[in-house]
Chain A
Amino acid sequence: MADQAATVSDPFAMWRDWVANSERQWNGFLNEAMATDQFSQTMGRIMDVYLNMQKSMNDVMGRYFSALNMPTRTDVLALGNRLTAIDDRLTVIEGLLAAITAPEAGRNSHIKAEANPAPRPPRTKKPA
């Protein structure tokens, strides 16, 4: 009797349950539809169209920037690659310098000295 009263008295709870159930049912139904070859094939075609458009746009923009004597995306990426290579070399040099200045695995690392000047708590904690 109490359950009946609770259900009757709260139509909003019924509505919320309906939303949750509908979500579950639609997810199940759509997941089934999307787990088919036809869906994958359609997705593949849509992707093809998108990639064709993207490629055409890249080509047109590349020619446009070349005509204006401005760097294209490829030029900027090539520059980025060279900067990354320099960055990588600097990282190696930095690592070697750190190894020279802190031969004992980081006891006096320059990184610790620069970035973390605050005192640190002791590493003595034991599990409760």
Chain B
Amino acid sequence: MAATATAVASSVESRVRSEIERALQRSIKGLEYISTGDPAVGLTPRDTIYSRGTLKLYRYRAMAGEVYRIPVLLIMSLVSKPYILDLTPGQSLVEYLLKQGFDVYMIDWGVPRPEDSRLRFEDYVLDFIPDCVDHVLRDSGEPDVNVVGYCMGGQLSVMYAAMHPGGPLRNLACFTTPVNTDGMKLMKQWSDPRYFDVDRIVDTLGNVPPDLLYASFDMLRPASKLAGQVRLWDNMWNDEFTKSFRIFDRWASDQIPFPGECFRQNTKELMWANKLYKGEFELAGRPCDLANVTVPFIHIVAEHDHIVPYESAKDLVPLVGSADKREVMLKGGHVSLVAGGNAIYRLWPQLNTWLSERSV
């Protein structure tokens, strides 16, 4: 009994000492944190092989002596910056794929300008993506391409696949892609047509401001912002933690405007009417039926995704028409799944294994 009491006292003493040291470090590192700029992101060497308006198509420079035959095209969301897949060396899906021997291309939609408020899903799915695919084929000299889409980029990718059966698409991988908006309960509630006048928003503002989008994503976990700041203070002594925190915080607050017409279409047809899930969605008067997707397909979802809850993503695999299709659920959240510290052990190897055996 006495020995236990002594051990406890000694342990408390060492913990208090350690906390005092950390408190000192927090003060020093805290000043550093405030006085230094944002960390550099998107550093993997690349060339812009095509640009059109704000759109840029990148080709990343190879990091392996030999690459798989089929190039990989990464399609990103319309509302966030693409560097989430290329944060920093060692924490970059792009860099990982290059080192595994893939020839990697990426569509960066850029920041929509006020005149881009006219853009609709038709422009992205029937024009921009096929155009970029053509440029990838031309640049690589190959007749087919693999596509990887993240979040809303996944939605665009499956729409592209559904609208171009028999096209050059060879394999399709999606991460955390919503299809059934009934599963996005809070978003659906907030955009209730009785109170959410999407026409007036788009007619008045044109593109939907990034602040509005950021606020709505933040409201999904309203207490997490404050808890995040507390954790940052607690871990201010830890360089690795603060670096990672800054990068993710920068990306999360670095939202871009949502092109107005596309937002209107997304709200009315996908959020309210749930047409993509019901098989009623049309692009330029043609049905966009996910059953038309017949290429090998994988959908990787996150167990703790609060932005795209599993209820909104789980129907994607059953809806696509591919014979070779599968869903994989991995630990993590919406962002940590693709770019968190554990992505290198979870998502990235899964993607590598699935894609490599289909890329020759």
State the A residues within 8 Å of B (CB).
1, 5-6, 8-12, 16, 19-20, 22-23, 26-27, 30-31, 34-37, 39-41, 43-45, 47-48, 51, 54-55, 58, 73, 76-77, 80-81, 83-84, 87-88, 91, 95, 98, 102, 105-107, 109, 111-112, 115-116, 118, 120-128
Contacts and interface: CB of A to CB of B under 8 A. Distances in A.
Interface residues of B, number: 68
A22 B227 CA distance: 9
Contact of A44 (B52, B134, B138, B197): B197
A80 B114 contact: yes
B195 A40 contact: yes
Given A10-B15, A40-B195, A34 B219 contact: yes
Q: Binding site of A, secondary structure by majority: helix, strand, loop or mixed? A: helix
Interface in B27-81: 47-50, 52-53, 59, 61-62, 64-69
Interface string B198-209: 001100111000
Contacts of B4: 1, 5
B192 interface: yes
A88 B66 CA distance: 37
B189 interface: yes
28 contacts: A5-B4, A9-B8, A22-B223, A26-B222, A34-B186, A35-B185, A35-B186, A41-B194, A44-B192, A44-B196, A45-B195, A76-B114, A80-B114, A83-B115, A91-B52, A91-B131, A102-B138, A106-B139, A106-B140, A111-B49, A120-B62, A122-B67, A123-B66, A123-B103, A123-B140, A123-B142, A126-B360, A128-B356
B113 A109 contact: no
Nearest to B135: A111
B200 A51 contact: yes
A31 B309 CA distance: 14
Nearest to A124: B66
Contacts of A44: 192, 194-197
Given A43-B195, A122-B67, A124-B69, A27 B224 contact: yes
A127 B360 contact: yes
B357 interface: yes
Interface of B: 4, 7-8, 11-12, 15, 19, 47-50, 52-53, 59, 61-62, 64-69, 101, 103, 113-116, 118, 131, 134-135, 137-143, 185-186, 189-190, 192, 194-197, 200-201, 204-206, 219-224, 226-227, 230-231, 234, 356-357, 359-360
